[in-house]
Structure 1
Amino acid sequence: MNYFLLIAREIGIGKEQVASAVNLFNEGATVPFIARYRKEKTGGLDETQLRSIEEKYNYYNLLEERKQTVLKSIEEQGKLTPELEEKIRSATKLQTVEDLYLPYKPKRKTRATIAIAKGLEPLADFILDNPLFDGSLEEEASKYIDPEKGVETAEDAIKGAGDIIAERISDTAEVRAAVREYLLENSFLVSEKAQLKPEERDKNKKDVYEVYHRFSIPVKKIKPYQTLAVNRGEREKFLKVSISYEREEVEKIIYEKFFPYERTVFEDFLKETVRDSLLRLISPSIEREIRNHLTEEADNHAIEVFATNLRQLLLQPPISGKIIMGIDPGYVSGCKVAVIDTTGKYLEGTTIYPHEPQKKTEAAKKTTLELIKKYSVDLIAIGNGTASRETELLIAEIIKENNLDTKYLIVSEAGASVYSASVLAKSEFPDLEAAQRGNISIARRVLDPLAELVKIDPKSIGVGLYQHDVDQKKLSKKLDDVVVSCVNYVGVDLNTASLSLLSYVSGLSKPIAKRIVDYREKRGRFNTREELKEIRGIGEKVFEQSAGFLKIPGGENPLDNTFIHPESYGAVQKLLDLAGVSPAEINKKGNLIELYVKSKGIDKVAEQVGTGVPTLKDIIENLKKPGRDPREDLPKPILRSDVLKMEDLKIGMRLKGTVRNIVDFGAFVDIGVKHDGLIHISQMSNRFVKNPFDIINVSDIVEVEILNVDIEKERISLKLIGKAAEI
C-alpha cells in the first residue's frame, strides 16, 4: 500500500513532498524547523501541511500495524483466503479492517455461539443453501431436536438457526458498510427531555437544554456545537438521545446485500431474521459509531476553533518600553496592584479596597496615584474578572482628576489564578502571596503576551468553545502545537527568555532549557549562538533544530539576531561580498542587498552563493529587518483614559473595540463597557459568511455599530463596520 500517495492526494500536494517530509521527521526534525529551513526539500510546505502529513502518516502506521495483527489472527484460525487477504491489505480505513475482521474476531458468549454449540449450524446452512426447498422446514428442523443440548422442539432448532444467520448478517462487512452509509446520509439525531426522578439527577446541575427537549436534525446537517451540547445534556441526564431512521428501508438494503437469490421459500423467516439482526446487533453498534463519528467531528471543530483563537491571542503585539501597573480586581479581597518595569521586573505591589464591602475609595485612589507618580506608570492593565468595570471607572477617575497622561486597557485574566498557584510562579516570586503573583502576570501580558501566556496551561487561557467536553488528549496535543508554532514564529531572545519560553523552542526539551537558564545565571549572557554547544545535551542535531529560533540582540555577530540559520552564514557572507556590504552595515544597508539581487536575478545569485531560491529569499528578508518581531505589524491594543457605561450606548453609535473570543455563531467584542458585545455572524458582512475566522481574528481592533442594547439581559448586539487596518 502506497501511503505516501494516499496522503499526497488527501492534502493536495506531491508524493515526493510527502516522502521528503516523512524522511525529515524520521531524522528527528521538528515541524517549525522543516517549515522554515527545509523549503527546498519539501517544496515549501507550511506548518499546517506538515502537521497534517505527520498526523496522517501516524494514522496509516497504526492502520498497517492493525492489518498485520488481524491477518495473523485469521491465518492462525486457518480461515485466511487470498480474497480476504487482498481486501484487508487494500483497506485504507481502520473501520474497514475491523468490519472484515468481525466474523473471525474471538467472541464472548452470544445467542449464535450458543446455537452453534447445540449443533444447529448445519440447519442454518441448509436454510441459506436451499432457497427452493419444497419440503417442510419443521420436519427438517426436527432432525436437530436434542433435549440434552437444550433443543426441545423443532421451533427451538429454527430459532437457533435464525440466531446464527442473524449474527452472520451482522458480521458481513458489506452489510455493515451499506447500513453505515445509509444512516450517515438519511438518519436523524433526535433528543428529548429525559424522564428521570429528581433523586436520579445532580441537584447542582441546571437544565439549560430546553432547545433540545424536542429536537430532531438530519445527521449530515448537525452543527458541531449542537453535537457537543446534546452530548453534554445526555451526560448530565437532562436529555435522552437516539438515532432515528426508516427501519423498513434499511431492512430492505440488508436483505438485498446479504442474500444472493431473488426468491426463497424461507423469505418470511429470513426477513424476520434480518429485522432481528438489525435491531439487536447491527443498529446498536452502527448508531454508536455514528454518535462517535459526530462527536469526533465536533471535537475536531471545537479544537480548531480553540487553536485558532489561541494562536491569535498568543500573537498579540507586545507593548514594549512601558512602565506597567497590573490590577487584579476584586470586592471582598480587594484589588491587587503591582508595578513592573520595561523588562517585566516586579517593582512594588499592594492591595487596595475601593469597592464593597470596605469601600475605601479615597484611600485606594491615593495609594494608586502615589504608585503611578513614584514609578511614572505609562499604562495600567486591568483584569477582566469580578469588579473589572468598577475598577476601570476608578482608574478613569484618577486619570481625569489628576490630568494624567497614563492610559489603561482591559486584559483577559483567564489562567492568571492557575499561574499564580503554580510551581513556576512560586519559584519566580517566592516571597509573594498567590494573589499578588496573578496581577504581575496581568501586567506582563501587556508587555509581552506570548512570553507570559506560555507559562499557563493553554486550556486555561479561556478562548475555547466546549473545551471541557472534547477529547482532552487531542486538545492538549493541538494546543501544544499552537504554542510551539507561535514561539518559533516569533523567536526568542536567548539572553532573556524564561524557562517556559525556551522549552517550546524547536529541538529543546525542558531539561536542556533549564541548562540554558543555569548557564546564563553562572556565566552571564550569550554572545554567540555557537556558545550553545558548550551546554550538555546540545549536540549537532539539537543545535541544528534550535539555533535559528534563538536570537542574540547586541551579540558579536549581527546574523545571530535574525532567523538566518548558522548553516547559511557562509552563503550570507558570499552574498554580502557580492553586494559590497560588510556585516556591520547590515542594519543600514539591508535594502541595498535586495536591490542587488533583483538587478542580477535571484536564480543566478542563489547559484553563486550556493543556496536554494526559497532560502535566499528568507535571507534577504531577514537582512532587510534584522531582529524584527513579526508581531510588530499587527494593530496595537486600544488604550483608554475614560469609561463608558451600557446606559451611554445608543443604537447607531459607532465605537472601536477589541475582539476577545470567536465562536461558530459570531464574535465577542470588548467596546469598553461592562459586558462584551456580540457581532452575530449575519452582521459581519453583506455577503454570506460561513466561518467567522474568514472575516476577523481574536485581538483584531474593529469598528462596530450598536444595533441593540438590552440592559436588563446585559446584552449588546453589534454590526461589524471594518477592521482597524481597513478603516
Structure 2
Amino acid sequence: MKINEILKKEFNLRDEQIKNTIKLIDEGNTIPFIARYRKEMTGEMSDVVLRAFHDKLVYLRNLESRKEDVIRIIEEQGKLTEELQKNIAKANTLQEVEDIYAPFKQKKRTRATIAKEKGLENFALAILNGEVEDISIEAKKYINTEKDVNSEDDAIKGAKDIIAEVVSEDAKIRKYIRELALREGMISTKNSKDEKSVYDMYYDYNEAVKTMAPHRVLAVNRGEKEGFLKVKLEINNDKVINHIVSEYVKEKNKSKEEIILSSIEDAYKRLIFPSIEREIRNQLTENAQERAISVFGKNIKSLLLQPPVKDKVVMGFDPAFRTGCKIAVVDKNGKLLDFTTVYPTQPQNKVEEAKKELKELIRKYSIDIISIGNGTASRESEKIVSDMIKEMDEEVQYIIVNEAGASVYSASELANEEHPDINVSIRGAISIARRLQDPLAELVKIDPKSIGVGQYQHDLNQKRLEQVLGGVVEDSVNSVGVDLNTASYSLLEHIAGISHSIAKNIVAYREENGDFTSRAQLKKVKRLGPQAFTQCAGFMRILDAKNPLDNTSVHPESYKICESMLKLLGYSMDDLRNKNIEGIDAKVEQIGLKKLSEELEVGELTLKDIISEIKKPGRDPREDGMKPVLRTDVLKIEDIKEGMVLKGTVRNVVDFGAFVDIGIKNDGLVHKSQMSKSFVKDPMDIVTVGDIIDVKVIGVDMDKQRVALSMNI
C-alpha cells in the first residue's frame, strides 16, 4: 500500500486531509500552528492526532527507504528475483523487511558459513531438494581432509548446519512462529532469589502474551534486571516443529526426513526460538513503554494545565528534617519578597520558634496561602502549619503541592540566572510557591521526566520519552499562550517556532526596548524571521496592546478579516477594546455563519475561532479547570475509618488506578475496579491529574500505611 493509503486507513481521513497535512508538515509548520490555524486544511485534526500522524508518516517513510536499500543490496549481489521484490514491496513493517533480508545479510562466521567454506552447501541443498538417494554414498563425495571434512559424519553434520540456517532464515516460518507466540504464547516468571521482594507476586507467575498488561510487563522487566526473576516465553513447541516439517518435508525428500527433522529441531532450538523470544519480549516492552509514555504525557498535560491560583501572596514551604524547612514568600506576580529557614521538625523540634517567625512573615506580607511541598517531612510540617493557622486571627489557608523536580530546578543554570544571589536550597521553596500561582510557567523550567507523575519512567526509552513529553509541553504552552511582556525565556522557548536562542533574544529585546506594544514588534527581534513569526505570533499575548487583537489568539494573518467582520456586524475596534460586543452570536446567527464566511472569504472553522476569541480577549483556558483544594486542618491515618467520604486531589494516574491525596501522609489508591460500577479499561477515561473527587474509604492497612478508596459512593 502507498503511504497515503495506509495513513488514510489508520486515521480514518479523507484523501484531501492526508495530502494537505503532509504538505503542511513538509513545509516546516509546527504541530501547534497546524492544529490551531490550519483547521480547514486538516479537517480540524487535534494536536494529539497530528503528532500520531507525524510519527506514523516518519515511520512509513523510513520503511520505504529501508525497502529501497534492501532491494539495492540484494540486486548488487545478483540475487534479486521478481518474487523477492514483490515480497519486500508488500511488507508492512520494518521487521518483515529485515526477515526477508536476513539470508542476504553479511554474517559473522556461523556453523553454517563454516560448513559452506568446506564446500558442503550443494550437499545440503541436494538433501532438501530430494536429490540424494543414498546419503552415505553422497556424503563420501564431500570428504576433503584439507578442508577438515574427514568422514561421512563430518559431511552430514555440516550439511545439517546449513539446512538449520536455511530454515532459520525463512521469513514465512519466522512470521508464523511470531504470530503464534503473540496469539497463544505465555510469559512465565520464577523467582531467582530465595528472599522476599516487591516482586513476590511474580515468583510463580504465568500470563498470556496477548493479555499481559503494560505495567506488569515493565514490573517483570525490572524484576529480571534486578536479579529477582527469571523470565521466559513458552509456546507449543510441537506445534511449531510440525508446522516447519510440513513446509520442508515433502514427498521428494521424505526418505531423508530424519536428517531434515534433526536440522529443523536444531534450527528452532538454537536459532529461531531465542530470536523470536527476544522479539516478543522486545515488542511487549516497546508496547508497554509506549503506553507508559502516553500515560506519563497525559498526566504531565493535566498537571501543566491545572488552573493558576492568581492574585495571591504565597509562602512556599519546602519541608525537611535535619537541614530545616526552607521558606520563601512571593508576591502576587511571583516576585521574591523574603526567605528564611525554620527548624520545627526533628531533630531540632523548634516548633514554637518556627511558628513565631512564620506568623511574623504572614502578617508582614499579608500572606494568603501556604504552599507545602509533598516530600520528606511534608505531613509533619502540615501538622505544624495547621496548628499555627488555628492560633491566628488572619485568614490563611494551606495546600500540599507536588514538589517533584523542585530540587532539580534549584540546581539548574536557569535557577542560577533567575536567583544568582539566593542559596540553592531556598530556590526550591520559591518554585513550590510559584507552581501554585502558575503551574505551567513554573513546571516548564523542569525536565518533564523529573515531575514524577508517571510509572517506571527510568525504565523507558529515554529518547522517545523526551520526544513525547517535549510535544506535550509544547502543546500545553501553546494552548494557553504566553504574556509576551512577562514570560521567561524558559516559557517562550516552548512556543511554536521559537528556539532557545530566539526566546533569549525576545527577553533581551524586551529588556532593551521596554514592553512590547504590538505583535508586529516581534519582527524586529534578532533571528526571528518571517517563518518563525508566522508560527509563533498567534500564541503571544500583549495585555495592553494598541490593537486589542494582540491580546487574543486571532492570528495576525486574520486581522483584516476580523476587522471586516466587526464592521459588517456593526461593531468597531473600540467596541472590541472596551469589551462591548455583546450580542455578536445573535448577529452572526441572523446572517448565518456559512454566508458570513463566504462574504469574508474565510473558512467557517477559522471564522468560528475568531468569533470565540474576540468574545473573551485574553481569557485563560485553564480557568475552566477544577480549582485546587485549600485546607486549614490536617488528617492522620489514625483518623481515617472505613466508610468515611472525603474530598481528594488526584496526584497520579496509572494503568491500574489513581493515587489520591486525601490529606494524610501517603496518597490513597482508587483501584480501577472501584472507579465505576461498570468495567473500566483505562483509568484515564475516568480521572486526570488535578481532578478533585469524592472518595469513600474501603480499607485501611495501618502496618503498610495504605488506604484503599472507592469512587462508588
- Shorter-chain TM-score category? over 0.9
SS in 1 for 2:658: strand
SS in 2 for 1:325: strand
Look up the match of 2:424. 434
Shift of 1:588: 3.0
SS in 2 for 1:250: helix
Match of 1:681 among 634, 652, 672: 672
Deviations 1:281-305 (A, max 9, x none): 1111111111110110110011111
Distance 1:559 1:262 in 2: 82
SS in 2 for 1:350: strand
The change in CA–CA distance for 1:492 and 1:404 in structure 2 (over 3 A counts) is same
Trace 1:324-723 onto structure 2 (pairs within 5 A).
324-586=314-576, 587-721=578-712
Distance 1:20 1:191 in 2: 49
Shift of 1:392: 1.1
Look up the match of 1:166. 164
Deviations 1:549-599 (A, max 9, x none): 000011111100101000000110111001111112125333422221111
Instruction: Tell me the amino acid that sits aligned with residue 76 of structure 2.
Output: E
Distance 1:488 1:603 in 2: 28
Structure 2 unaligned residues grouped into runs of 5+: none
The change in CA–CA distance for 1:19 and 1:650 in structure 2 (over 3 A counts) is same
Q: Is the 8 A contact 2:128 2:253 kept in 1?
A: no
Shift of 1:265: 0.6
Distance 2:275 2:178 in 1: 10
Q: Is the 8 A contact 1:702 1:721 kept in 2?
A: no
SS in 2 for 1:6: helix
Look up the match of 1:182. 180
Moved over 6 A (4+): none
Shift of 1:260: 5.0
Distance 2:305 2:277 in 1: 42
Distance 2:22 2:539 in 1: 22
SS in 1 for 2:187: strand
Shift of 1:76: 1.1
Distance 1:62 1:209 in 2: 39
Distance 1:248 1:402 in 2: 78
Q: Is the 8 A contact 2:329 2:430 kept in 1?
A: yes
Residue correspondences, number = 712
Shift of 1:477: 0.6
Shift of 1:404: 2.3
Shift of 1:263: 6.4
Instruction: Tell me the amino acid that sits aligned with residue 427 of structure 2.
Output: R
Deviations 1:356-399 (A, max 9, x none): 11111111111000000000001110011111111111111121
Shift of 1:244: 1.2
Deviations 1:239-261 (A, max 9, x none): 21111122111011112234454
Instruction: Tell me the amino acid that sits aligned with residue 417 of structure 1.
Output: S
Look up the match of 1:138. 136
Distance 1:128 1:370 in 2: 92
Instruction: Tell me the amino acid that sits aligned with residue 222 of structure 1.
Output: M
Q: Is the 8 A contact 1:32 1:47 kept in 2?
A: yes
Deviates more, 1:40-49 or 1:453-462: 40-49
Deviates more, 1:450-459 or 1:59-68: 59-68
Deviations 1:326-348 (A, max 9, x none): 10011111111111001100000
Deviates more, 1:411-420 or 1:349-358: 349-358
Instruction: Tell me the amino acid that sits aligned with residue 144 of structure 1.
Output: Y
Q: Is the 8 A contact 2:129 2:252 kept in 1?
A: no
Distance 1:102 1:710 in 2: 55
Instruction: Tell me the amino acid that sits aligned with residue 180 of structure 2.
Output: Y
Trace 1:228-239 onto structure 2 (pairs within 5 A).
228-239=218-229
SS in 2 for 1:257: helix
Distance 1:385 1:103 in 2: 56
The change in CA–CA distance for 1:644 and 1:174 in structure 2 (over 3 A counts) is same
Instruction: Tell me the amino acid that sits aligned with residue 338 of structure 1.
Output: A
Deviations 1:120-153 (A, max 9, x none): 112112212227x6x4211121111111111111
Look up the match of 2:198. 208
Q: Is the 8 A contact 2:674 2:712 kept in 1?
A: no
Shift of 1:688: 0.7
Trace 1:141-156 onto structure 2 (pairs within 5 A).
141-156=139-154
Q: Is the 8 A contact 1:576 1:593 kept in 2?
A: no
Instruction: Tell me the amino acid that sits aligned with residue 155 of structure 1.
Output: D
Look up the match of 1:201. none
Instruction: Tell me the amino acid that sits aligned with residue 159 of structure 1.
Output: K
Q: Is the 8 A contact 1:209 1:238 kept in 2?
A: yes
Deviates more, 1:252-261 or 1:269-278: 252-261
SS in 2 for 1:464: coil
Shift of 1:638: 0.4
Q: Does 1:25 align with 2:45?
A: no
Deviations 1:171-191 (A, max 9, x none): 111111111111111111111
Deviates more, 1:385-394 or 1:407-416: 385-394
Q: Is the 8 A contact 2:650 2:660 kept in 1?
A: yes
Q: Is the 8 A contact 2:670 2:711 kept in 1?
A: yes
SS in 2 for 1:330: coil
Shift of 1:227: 1.1
Instruction: Tell me the amino acid that sits aligned with residue 162 of structure 2.
Output: I
Q: Is the 8 A contact 1:175 1:258 kept in 2?
A: no
Distance 1:318 1:399 in 2: 23
Look up the match of 1:725. none
Instruction: Tell me the amino acid that sits aligned with residue 601 of structure 2.
Output: G
The change in CA–CA distance for 1:602 and 1:262 in structure 2 (over 3 A counts) is farther
SS in 1 for 2:596: helix
Look up the match of 1:87. 87
Deviations 1:268-319 (A, max 9, x none): 2211111011011111111111111011011001111111111000000000
SS in 1 for 2:457: coil
Distance 1:600 1:183 in 2: 62
Deviates more, 1:396-405 or 1:539-548: 396-405
Shift of 1:530: 0.3
SS in 1 for 2:554: coil
SS in 2 for 1:508: coil
Deviates more, 1:296-305 or 1:586-595: 586-595
The change in CA–CA distance for 1:143 and 1:30 in structure 2 (over 3 A counts) is same
SS in 2 for 1:410: strand
Q: TM-score when scaled to structure 1?
A: 0.96
Instruction: Tell me the amino acid that sits aligned with residue 574 of structure 2.
Output: A
Deviations 1:52-79 (A, max 9, x none): 1110111112112211221111111111
Q: TM-score when scaled to structure 2?
A: 0.98
Match of 2:299 among 309, 319, 329: 309
SS in 1 for 2:317: strand
Instruction: Tell me the amino acid that sits aligned with residue 153 of structure 2.
Output: E
Distance 1:87 1:68 in 2: 13
Query: What's the RMSD between the two structures over aligned residues?
Result: 1.4
SS in 2 for 1:659: strand
Q: Is the 8 A contact 2:642 2:700 kept in 1?
A: yes
Distance 1:590 1:454 in 2: 35
SS in 2 for 1:588: coil
Distance 1:264 1:222 in 2: 41
